[in-house]
Amino acid sequence: MTGCSGDRHCSIELGTTRAFVLRLAQGAGTVAGVLRTGRGGADLLVGAADITVDVAGPVAADGSATLTGLKPAASDFDRTGEVQVQALVIRLSPPIP
């Protein structure tokens, strides 16, 4: 985690890593899916993730894709607030021709 604001204790998360689940579908020159992140362990696998963000991005000629996404806050009282995925870089194997 590289940045946060709004949550009272989010600064203690800076510089840490979190477990995540990434589900993707590949289309004509694009990749789209869902990124779920949480505290880790078995809870993440059974749906107890903290945050779910829709992500998408174009596929480059070398098979890499940079995914971005945004989960807006549900309301002013949403404790997770807005979440931005600014650059999640993956490489597809084999690359799309």
Top pLDDT among 6 and 19 is at 19
Q: What is the pLDDT of residues 36-74, one digit of tens each?
A: 886 555 555 554 447 889 999 999 988 899 999 998 888
The residue-averaged pLDDT of 26-44 equals 78
Question: What per-residue confidence (pLDDT) applies to 31?
Answer: 94
Token pair recorded at residue 31: 């990749």
Token pair recorded at residue 82: 């807005």
Share of the chain above pLDDT 90, in %: 28
7: pLDDT strictly greater than 80? no
